[in-house]
Amino acid sequence: MKKNSNYTFIDLFSGAGGLLRGFLDAEFNPIFSLEMWEPAIQTHNKNYSSVPLIAEDIRKVNNACLSKYTGKVDVIVGGPPCQGFSTIGKRIVKDPRNELVFEFIRFIDIIKPKFFLMENVRGLLSSNGGKTKEAIKAEFELIGYHNVKYKVLCAADFGVPQIRYRVFFIGVRNDIESDIDFPQQTTEKQNYATVGSAINDLVGLENLIPNHVPMNHNAIVKERMKYIPEGGGIPLEGLPEDVSRGSRSDYKNNRVKNFSHIYKRLDRKKPATTMVPGHNAFPLHPIENRSLTVREAARIQTFPDDVIFMGNRQNQCIQVGNAVPIKLAFELAMNFKKYLNELEE
């Protein structure tokens, strides 16, 4: 592919910079990122100080500030939180819970990039019996975009050692003739990247590299973890009585259950389950009796080790868990680059 480092992008709802890093690695030039959460702002400043950052609530950025970029940006990317959708006909109801989606659309409307990319959880597709996704598509068409498409992509299909599904929306400005589509998968199922390939070399380096700090599990929790087999959860026959009940004072009379991520151990020979953001939600290490460290989860999200996550542990977990995996972001960026090259030619 012909290299062009002059293509530009804007990165909204930047978080830990998953999309940002993927597009940077694809040699796009950043116009700015936008993020309002302080820990993520600190992470951006630590890792991407040369990328301009609007550290502001997107709702407070007025149209006059955006108009200077009109027609000068190739791609706008971002993953606005989508909550509580309701629709009337083909339109999204302007519920305050949907406001950030409208803000993303407003930026597209004012700046008029050639292409856009919006990421979200795949549950969005079934929201309101499927009406939500069609309403979002209609909103983009209303502001002057065609070939608006949505598709669920699995990160493992793009070299990420994680079975992670997210929906992506793309579209093309009306004055541009392009039949843009989503990238083809780069990795067949039999060749999926594994947990072991991502994190095995970190064993023994705990506390020696940034963000590789194990949780301080209490004695009962550590003992309980010994009964969780690699690639499995709490045994069907249950746990020994002395470790079967919660150790917290508010949980001591309840038996520990197979929650979706807690007490699930990863398998070194398979991709991970989805890295879910939260303090205790990362799954167990394949061979160590502890949950994954932030660095290990970041490796599974294909963040390079040069990215340092700021804030307390919970803040770091949320940033890592919410991010678009870097390898997937890179493939999406290279896909846009292919179409931008075609336009130039």
What's at 166, amino acid-wise? R
Inter-residue contact 17 to 43 (CB < 8 Å): yes
As a three-state string, the secondary structure of 243-281 is HCECCCCCCCCCECCCCCCCCCECCCCCCECCCCCCCCC
Annotation marks residue 82 as catalytic: yes
139 three-class SS: helix
Tokens of 127: 């929201």
Which has the closest alpha carbon to 21: 339, 319, 344, 340? 319
Residue 251: count other Cβ atoms within 10 Å of its Cβ.
11
Active-site annotation holder among 65, 82, 154, 317: 82
Residue 339: which H helix or E strand, with range? helix 326-344
Angle CA(335)–CA(328)–CA(163) in degrees, nearest 5?
A: 140
Instruction: Name the residues annotated as catalytic.
Output: 82
